[in-house]
């Protein structure tokens, strides 16, 4: 499986500010995915990030609110902009591993006050 | 058509019993069906996955049963242990594990000692 790390692991932020979440993978991957998991809920895809191209956003998510960077094949960032309490969630990145499977990072737990 | 419906929402099983969680889908283009286990404060961990060309896959105490005609798949946990207490998510995607996942709503499993 792929080894995925995320930073920060958790943060408490004030309304109106922005937070950038980092995702680092131990191997080169073409596609990285960003998901949101609201408290007690399932996972919802935010966007798909390919290296060298613009991220593809799912319905209900826009680039101005969740800008994504993908500078190389092992790293990506997701920024949560102009935060409100409704953005309080766990944010997860995932990648396809070297074998049959898609693997998730440990997540970033965000609380917006 | 992109939904994956999961049941039950919660499940309580005695130690040593069999835990069964069911999922149903509509999109016949789905070709990858993984199950994830998530402990509180952790990212989802890939348990087992199946492609639609097989009807069953077993890994240790975990078995996926797949019924293509009924568009249903299920997770069976044999000899359930208190350490299995977690939230379980089914998911599906088109294009194998390289594509974004559509998740079920999750099942909170409690295994009583």
Q: Backbone phi, then psi, for A105, in 5-degree steps?
A: -75, 175
Spatial separation of the C-alpha atoms in residues A15 and A57, rounded to whole Å: 23
Tell me: pLDDT of B103 over 60.
yes
3-state SS of B36-101?
A: EEECCCCCCEEEEEECCCCCEEEECCEEEEEECCCCEEEEEECCCCHHHCEEEEEEEECCHHHCCC
Say yes or no to pLDDT of A99 above 90. no
Please report residues of B whose CB lies closer than 8 A to that of A30: 98
Nearest to B103 among A30, A42, A106 (CB): A42
Two structure tokens written together for B109: 């499993």
* CA distance linking residue B108 with residue B37, whole number of Å: 10
Question: What φ, ψ does residue B96 adopt, rounded to 5°?
Answer: 70, -160
The answer to whether the Cβ–Cβ distance between A104 and B104 falls below 8 Å is no
Question: Which residue out of A102, A106, A109 would a mutagenesis test of the B interface target, given it has the greatest number of B Cβ atoms within 10 Å?
Answer: A102
Percentage of the residues of chain A whose pLDDT score is greater than 70: 96
Contact of B10 with chain A, judged by CB distance below 8 Å, is answered with: no
Q: Is B42 on the interface with A (CB under 8 A)?
A: yes
Nearest to B98 among A31, A105, A109 (CB): A31
Cβ pair A33:B100 closer than 8 A = yes
pLDDT of A101 > 90? The answer is no
Residues B5, B101: contact at Cβ < 8 Å?
no
Mutate to test the interface with A, among B9, B97, B102, B107 (most CBs of A within 10 A): B97
How do residues A37-68 score in pLDDT, each as one tens digit? 998 899 999 999 988 888 999 999 999 999 99
Inter-chain contact B45–A42, Cβ cutoff 8 Å? no
Read off the DSSP letter of residue A58.
P
Q: Is residue B1 pLDDT above 60, yes or no?
A: no
Contact (CB<8Å) B98/A96: yes
Question: Per the CB < 8 Å rule, is B43 touching A104?
Answer: yes
Q: In what order do the strands lie in the sheet with B72-77?
A: B4-7, B19-25, B72-77, B62-67, B56-59
B66 touches chain A (CB under 8 A): no
A33 pLDDT above the threshold of 90:
yes
Give tens-digit pLDDT for B35-84: 999 999 899 999 999 998 999 999 999 999 999 999 999 999 999 999 99
CA dist B45 and B83 (Å) reads 14
| B44/B96: higher pLDDT | B44
CB contacts, 8 Å: A94 with chain B:
101
Give chain B positions within 8 Å (CB) of A100: 49, 96-97
Question: How far is residue A39 CA from its own chain's centroid?
Answer: 16
Apex CA B37: angle with CA A76 and CA B11, to 5°?
A: 145
């Amino acid at each position: 499986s792929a080894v995925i790390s995320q930073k920060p692991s958790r943060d408490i932020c004030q309304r109106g500010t922005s937070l950038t979440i980092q995702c680092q993978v131990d191997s080169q991957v073409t596609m990285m995915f960003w998901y949101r998991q609201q408290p007690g809920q399932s996972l919802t895809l935010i966007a798909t990030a390919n290296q060298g191209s613009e991220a593809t956003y799912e319905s209900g998510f826009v680039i101005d609110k969740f800008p994504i960077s993908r500078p190389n094949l092992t790293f990506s960032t997701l920024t949560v902009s102009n935060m409100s309490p409704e953005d309080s969630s766990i944010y997860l990145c995932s990648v396809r591993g070297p074998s049959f499977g898609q693997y998730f990072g440990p997540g970033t737990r965000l609380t917006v006050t | 058509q992109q939904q994956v419906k999961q049941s039950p929402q919660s499940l309580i099983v005695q130690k040593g019993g069999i835990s069964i969680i069911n999922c149903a889908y509509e999109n016949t283009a789905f070709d990858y069906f993984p199950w994830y286990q998530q402990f509180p404060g952790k990212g989802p961990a890939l348990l087992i996955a199946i492609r639609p060309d097989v009807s069953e896959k077993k890994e240790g105490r975990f078995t996926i049963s797949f019924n293509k005609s009924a568009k249903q798949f299920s997770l069976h946990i044999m000899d359930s242990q208190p350490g299995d207490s977690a939230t379980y998510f089914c998911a599906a995607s088109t294009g194998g594990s390289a594509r974004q996942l559509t998740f079920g709503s999750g099942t909170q499993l409690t295994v009583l000692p």
